Structure 1
Amino acid sequence: MLRQYELVERVKAYDPDADEALLNRAYVYTVQKHGSQKRASGDPYFSHPIEVAGLMTDLKLDQDTVITALLHDTVEDTLTTIEDIEHQFGPDVARLVDGVTKLSKIEQMTDDERAAENLRKFLLAMSEDLRVLLVKLADRLHNMRTLHFIKSPDKRQRIARETMEIYAPLAERVGMYEYMREMQLLAFEQIEPEAYATITGRLEQIRSSEGGQVDAIALKVKQALAEAGVRVEVSGREKHPYSIWKKMAERHVSFEQITDIFAFRVVTDTIEDCYRALGVLHTVWQSVPGRFKDYISTPKSNGYRSLHTSLIYESTMRVEVQIRTREMHRLNEFGLAAHWAYKQGDRPDGAVGWLRDLIEIVDASHDAEELLEHTRLAIYQDRIFAFTPKGALFQLPKGATPVDFAFAVHTDLGAQTVGAKINGRHMPLRTPLNNGDVVEIIKGKSAEPQLSWLGFVVTGKARAAIRRAVRQKEREEVIAIGRMLFDDISARVPSKIGRKAIRAAVERLELEDEDALMHAIGSAKLSDREVMEALVPGSTADLPELPAQEQAISIKGLTPGVGFTLAPCCHPVPGDRIVGLRHRGEGVQVHAIDCLELASGIDADWVDLSWGERSKGAVGRVRAVLYHRPGTLAEMAGIFAQNNANVINLELTQRDDPFHTYDVDLEVNDLMHLTRIVSALRASEAIAQAERI
């Protein structure tokens, strides 16, 4: 553990103007506040914030960040408040400490919910000041270094998985590869202990059996470059154990089949030397096709720059080589933190592009599960590069489609997408993009995101935006259904219903507003009786039960003796506005007034029709989009049964995982009966969409 004077000396070494008294006060403050608290290792608790502060000095971060590291656990684990921090150390430190402070444990939450809420607060705090992220990553890294002291295996596994799924990817996205690699290694040891032991054991065997082979190859590389007049530093190592395991899993191969165990780093003086070194290496040794990547001319989204290539050494051995300048190496290893060095004038200002996307995802996500899914998609995927027709570059995950590209350019563009050209050719929206593709998005003013897009988009931003748009559309449709049902309900109340009665009903039902009332009615969350009682208290006390009546359909407006049929194109049911088409020598075909097929009846005689007073019973057609998982079809059938609707025909019309679309013909009494069924379908968790067709 760093002593007080050692920590201060570290900061003063790179920032002579640092406030020594303030640093001393922060050190003493955290020691006093954490007092006799102990960590799982038995060490004093204050050793943890002090070590995190030490990590901040390794990165040469500014004084406020070091003080934040010292104080980051005081609000959660002691009686200290944010107001106390602000009074003692100023508003900037207080704001940073508040951003880094972990949430208290909420026992009633599931692990996913706890992780999601922690992540939500974390991302929002990051968007205001990226130093919050740097302290948080150092906090998590030190906790991972002492994870083995925690006795509970389940708790160790949970922390390790959270680190692997959230914090290591975040470290990678801001270019802090040293942090990422160590987090992955420590998490890998907990999550896959057998695989970790096997791979580290095999690497140890290679070290002992091969002797100084890594050093020998590094020397050969350096000599080849020196003979060509390129001054370089060369270092080599075995690949990271987690990286090897991941490769084994992805390629479905054994350890023996992994050929590129060794990796070498060539550090040059200039960018020109990087490309010269690459040319020399490709001349002396054979390169592996498809393994060259130029991240100097096209950096990664986190600013990472380097040349990557793989060579075949001595006919059989593959080795990976990274070529970069000294400045690139400094920025690559510590990424965003390198830009925050204590006196840099070009510090990151506000949220970087991918972080802005994450904040948008936080706003769009419906629940904990969605938030974690979308965020993992956004921060943890291999990237490709695609261009707009004007040459703007966008980085996307492998497998991304034109829809993902459109949402990456702008959320509004994604929402208005109707088609796409890839390299000048019209292509389906589900087409995976390749590196270097030029993508032109075709948009329509009245277009809107489609639920089926969730079957092929891969970015968290696109999935979150699509789900939000679909939910909003569904809400509007449910409210419209609710208003129709409300008109029917209010007609049965023994007094006229005005705005005042509706406002009173909203208050009695403890809802937010009138739209919330209509939504509750439309989604079958309120029964007719509950709504009537809320509108006029006592109105349901003597309400008789209406006996079920089976009545034949009758149509007003027909000449006596003339037969009629209900049109199969629009399936009109009692309650629809209807019109008749009469062709010579045929009976009358009854259509709903808004039927699209009416345009073909210009040569027929139009007959003004209406339903008979007690018409009941017709076939309505519903289209339902079900999630493709066990039990969803049975749940839909159960809804039909509960609503006394007989299924005449059921047809699977489209498979588009994760959805299946069914068209269902139902025997219903009237429009209100059909509307209630659609409303009940939309209220079901098994059904993504439902509509009358």
Structure 2
Amino acid sequence: MIRINDILDKIYEYNPEGDCDIIDRAYVYSARVHDGQVRLSGEPYLSHPLEVANILADMRLDVESIAAALLHDVIEDTPATREDIEDMFGPGVAHIVSGVTKLSALPFSTKIAQQAESLRKMILAMADDIRVVLIKLADRIHNMRTLKYHRKPEKQAAIAQETLDIYAPIAARLGIFWMKYELEDIAFYYTKRHEYERIKALVNKARHEKEDYIITVNEKLHEKMKEMNLEAEIKGRYKQNYSIYQKMISQNLDFNEVYDVIAFRIILDTVPQCYAAMGAIHSMWKPIYYKIKDYIGNPKPNMYQSIHTTVVGPKGERVEIQIRTQDMDNIAESGIAAHWSYKEGSKIDENTGELFAWIRNLVENQENYNDPDEFLENVRIDLYPDEIYVFTPQGEIKILPKKATPVDFAYRIHTEVGAECTGAKVNGKIVQLSHRLKTGDTIEIITTKGHTPSPDWLNFVKTVKARTKIRGWINAREKERSYSLGREMCEKIFRKRNQNFNALVKSGEIKQVSDAYGFKAVDDLIAHVGFGKITPLQILNKIAPEVEKQEVKETGVLQKQTGKRKNKDSTGIIVKGLHDILVKFSKCCNPLPGDPIIGYITQGQGVTIHRKGCLNIMKMSNERQIEVQWSDEVKESYPASIKIRTDDRSGLLADIASVISKHKSNILNANTETLETGISLFYFTLMVESTDQLRQIMSAIKKVKKVTDVKRVIRND
């Protein structure tokens, strides 16, 4: 079993200034709370956190990470709490240990194969400190190394498959390839033991047969590098068993057809030397051009850099060669961990981070990272900032956009579940439907048969599906209402022109108009009348244009006789092409002549007039909005509210009322309020003919002594 002194010795080598006291205390505490617990191997449980801490020490992590590794199981497996950890070891260690505990609680046992990618993303999204993921990976490495102590083969296979699905790809995503390879190879053994043994035997046989060939290639590469004055380290290695197996399966190859079982690696000092080495190799052996990949000029997202080339080598056999610098080789093995490792006791070169765009995007404040501890403190996992990963009660994962709500989740399950959603529980607690979900939540939807979507949901849903389905339902309902209103409008207008609308529908004449407008059915035409898109007079004019011409002629004669007398019932509003329509003014925004306005067709209650930009009209269906404008001929009075701020003085109210009266406006309502500071607030509702008249009144009130401010009051501004 590894000893704590072995770990401390390693830390002292790469971080002699590190405060190891926290590690000593974490070791003593972990030993005390785990006392009496035993691993399946029969070893004391303490052996596991020691091994995990040792792996992180090999990766040269900071002392806080290694202390957290020694404590990573205590919240989950002992009576210790997060508060205990924070009191004794500080918020940093407590945060990491809590994060590892949270990941351990994910219900992997309920997952299905298709969820593997979602689980990988969830782990990365849930860990706001990358050290949480590194400890989890080190924990899995040691558990895989001791998997033989599980007595049930099916349990071994399940853990191994989970490792292949979840943990090995995460290691690859972070660029830590030594972890990826070890996890894959052990998992391969327990998931497909027969295939593992077969590939291993084939590789061993090839190794014996190709030993002379490897020596020949190695010698020729050394000679060429020497000839080019390139000092290089050259390594020949066999591909990992699992990689060979994957290639055979994916490309349907026999083992003998996998040409790159052996790969050579050339390690140099500088980037220019890498390109020079590639040119030298290509001058010696013919390259296969479509196999050349320049990951130095175009690094992989996980920071990997190298030149890959495949050439036709001695005896006509293909040889794969990777060319990279020493720094690139370190990163190819350690990935993100290489960014904060100490190199022979010296601090990391601050410019190293400039090479890797991906790692820069993980850092909140990337200036001035002179030392790896500072860098590490600020690294945050931010790979999937726009997604959250949540569970159904059965443990199935659903991916939603950030800030999604239970309604989004309900529609993600099924359209019917979304429509009938009346409540939700998140992690067992009832929440509002507008509650924002977060990664790791388990959501249960409460439904009521026959319930329908609420238009208010459009104010908070985030998914396209939820928004589309809710709008679709609203539009369907609006279409029904619009059809009813449209039919009512047509019947009324046609009757006034001595025409029978229903008879014209039965005769097929309305169908001809519908076809002319490009509608599939008469009902669609009628609904568009209700929506305000087409007027009854337009339809009538198509059927009997002589009726409309006669009415225009008669109207002209009547106007001459009456001297253009105003209609007492006029509202001062012209509704696009519609006559005899009931018009009402909204109380939410109190529009005045001069304000830009829009109409909204209501069921059986005519058209309601709103100011453009009114919050209420913005929430309503676009389909029912109609163009309206103020009439130049009609002069009506409309209510308008103002708020006046003053310093208190006697006679002020009388002076303000006098100004309003001089501008020929009546006061409908007046209220006053005096604040503790001595400031008075006056609220008036006036009758005015236009925004111009209101502005004149407000301007005059501002000139009254002690008045400091005058504003128009609109309820939803």
Cα distance per residue 1:458-503 (max 9 Å; x no partner): xxxxx9699999959979x989x97xx9xxxxxxxxxxxxxxxx99
1:50-449 equivalent positions in 2, closer than 5 A = 50-101=50-101, 110-112=110-112, 122-126=123-127, 128-341=128-341, 343-344=347-348, 346=350, 351=362, 355-362=381-388, 371=397
1:271 and 1:325 in contact (8 A); partners too: yes
Is the aligned partner of 1:605 residue 2:543? Answer: yes
Identity, % of aligned pairs?
A: 32
- In 2, the alpha carbon distance for the partners of 1:597 and 1:215 equals 90
1:217: Cα distance to partner?
Answer: 2.0
1:266–1:474 distance in 2 versus 1, CA, 3 Å: same
Is the aligned partner of 1:526 residue 2:449? Answer: yes
Return the letter of the residue paired with 1:604. K
2:116 and 2:165 in contact (8 A); partners too: no
SS of alignment partner, residue 87 of structure 2: helix
1:260 and 1:317 in contact (8 A); partners too: no
- In 2, the alpha carbon distance for the partners of 1:245 and 1:174 equals 23
Return the letter of the residue paired with 2:287. S
- In 1, the alpha carbon distance for the partners of 2:534 and 2:257 equals 63
Cα distance per residue 1:504-547 (max 9 Å; x no partner): xxxxxx8846999xxxxxx9833379x9xxxxxxxxxxxxxxxx
1:299 and 1:305 in contact (8 A); partners too: yes
Cα distance per residue 1:371-416 (max 9 Å; x no partner): 58x7xxxxxxxxxxxxxxxxxxxxxxxxxxxxxxxxxxxxxxxxxx
1:324: Cα distance to partner?
Answer: 0.6
1:560: Cα distance to partner?
Answer: 7.7
1:45–1:350 distance in 2 versus 1, CA, 3 Å: farther
1:571–1:597 distance in 2 versus 1, CA, 3 Å: farther
1:95: Cα distance to partner?
Answer: 0.9
1:293: Cα distance to partner?
Answer: 0.6
SS of alignment partner, residue 184 of structure 2: helix
Return the letter of the residue paired with 1:98. S
SS of alignment partner, residue 236 of structure 1: strand
2:100 and 2:136 in contact (8 A); partners too: yes
Match of 1:656 in 2: none
1:176 and 1:334 in contact (8 A); partners too: yes
Cα distance per residue 1:199-237 (max 9 Å; x no partner): 111001112233343233222211222122221110101
1:594: Cα distance to partner?
Answer: 6.9
1:97: Cα distance to partner?
Answer: 1.1
Match of 2:471 in 1: none
1:336–1:263 distance in 2 versus 1, CA, 3 Å: same
Match of 1:623 in 2: none
- In 2, the alpha carbon distance for the partners of 1:307 and 1:122 equals 31
1:170: Cα distance to partner?
Answer: 1.4
1:327: Cα distance to partner?
Answer: 1.4
1:26 and 1:71 in contact (8 A); partners too: yes
Unaligned ranges ≥5, structure 1: 375-462, 486-501, 504-509, 517-522, 532-552, 581-590, 608-670, 672-693
Return the letter of the residue paired with 2:384. L
1:572: Cα distance to partner?
Answer: 6.0
- In 2, the alpha carbon distance for the partners of 1:137 and 1:300 equals 21
Cα distance per residue 1:595-640 (max 9 Å; x no partner): 8999997972389xxxxxxxxxxxxxxxxxxxxxxxxxxxxxxxxx
1:118–1:310 distance in 2 versus 1, CA, 3 Å: closer
2:111 and 2:395 in contact (8 A); partners too: no
- In 2, the alpha carbon distance for the partners of 1:561 and 1:206 equals 92
- In 1, the alpha carbon distance for the partners of 2:431 and 2:17 equals 58
1:57: Cα distance to partner?
Answer: 1.2
Match of 1:550 in 2: none
1:129 and 1:350 in contact (8 A); partners too: no
1:289–1:603 distance in 2 versus 1, CA, 3 Å: farther
1:365–1:528 distance in 2 versus 1, CA, 3 Å: closer
SS of alignment partner, residue 96 of structure 1: helix
1:531-610 equivalent positions in 2, closer than 5 A = 558=500, 562=504, 563-565=506-508, 578=526, 604-605=542-543
Match of 1:545 in 2: none
SS of alignment partner, residue 266 of structure 2: strand
- In 2, the alpha carbon distance for the partners of 1:515 and 1:132 equals 27
- In 2, the alpha carbon distance for the partners of 1:144 and 1:29 equals 25
- In 2, the alpha carbon distance for the partners of 1:598 and 1:197 equals 83
- In 2, the alpha carbon distance for the partners of 1:11 and 1:511 equals 48
Return the letter of the residue paired with 2:123. F
Match of 1:584 in 2: none
- In 1, the alpha carbon distance for the partners of 2:361 and 2:10 equals 28
Match of 1:615 in 2: none
SS of alignment partner, residue 90 of structure 1: helix
SS of alignment partner, residue 217 of structure 2: helix
2:362 and 2:383 in contact (8 A); partners too: no
1:249–1:42 distance in 2 versus 1, CA, 3 Å: same
1:148: Cα distance to partner?
Answer: 2.3
1:593: Cα distance to partner?
Answer: 5.3
SS of alignment partner, residue 382 of structure 2: helix
Match of 1:390 in 2: none
1:605–1:177 distance in 2 versus 1, CA, 3 Å: same
Return the letter of the residue paired with 1:351. L
Return the letter of the residue paired with 1:123. L
- In 2, the alpha carbon distance for the partners of 1:77 and 1:361 equals 31
SS of alignment partner, residue 260 of structure 2: coil
- In 2, the alpha carbon distance for the partners of 1:8 and 1:564 equals 97
1:147–1:275 distance in 2 versus 1, CA, 3 Å: same
SS of alignment partner, residue 322 of structure 2: strand
Match of 1:3 in 2: 3
2:121 and 2:384 in contact (8 A); partners too: no
User: Bigger radius of gyration, 1 or 2?
Assistant: 2
- In 1, the alpha carbon distance for the partners of 2:224 and 2:406 equals 58
- In 1, the alpha carbon distance for the partners of 2:501 and 2:118 equals 68
SS of alignment partner, residue 203 of structure 1: helix
2:295 and 2:304 in contact (8 A); partners too: yes
SS of alignment partner, residue 263 of structure 2: strand
- In 2, the alpha carbon distance for the partners of 1:93 and 1:511 equals 32
Return the letter of the residue paired with 1:328. M
2:125 and 2:382 in contact (8 A); partners too: no
- In 1, the alpha carbon distance for the partners of 2:195 and 2:537 equals 68
Cα distance per residue 1:327-385 (max 9 Å; x no partner): 1111221011111226547586783699534242226898998858x7xxxxxxxxxxx
User: TM (normalized to structure 2)?
Assistant: 0.55
1:579: Cα distance to partner?
Answer: 6.9
Return the letter of the residue paired with 2:147. L
1:310 and 1:320 in contact (8 A); partners too: yes
- In 1, the alpha carbon distance for the partners of 2:360 and 2:110 equals 35
1:261–1:118 distance in 2 versus 1, CA, 3 Å: closer
2:110 and 2:394 in contact (8 A); partners too: no
- In 2, the alpha carbon distance for the partners of 1:578 and 1:369 equals 49
- In 1, the alpha carbon distance for the partners of 2:386 and 2:270 equals 39
1:13-24 equivalent positions in 2, closer than 5 A = 13-24=13-24
Judge which range, 3-12 or 464-473, deviates more.
464-473
- In 2, the alpha carbon distance for the partners of 1:473 and 1:525 equals 13
1:295–1:71 distance in 2 versus 1, CA, 3 Å: same
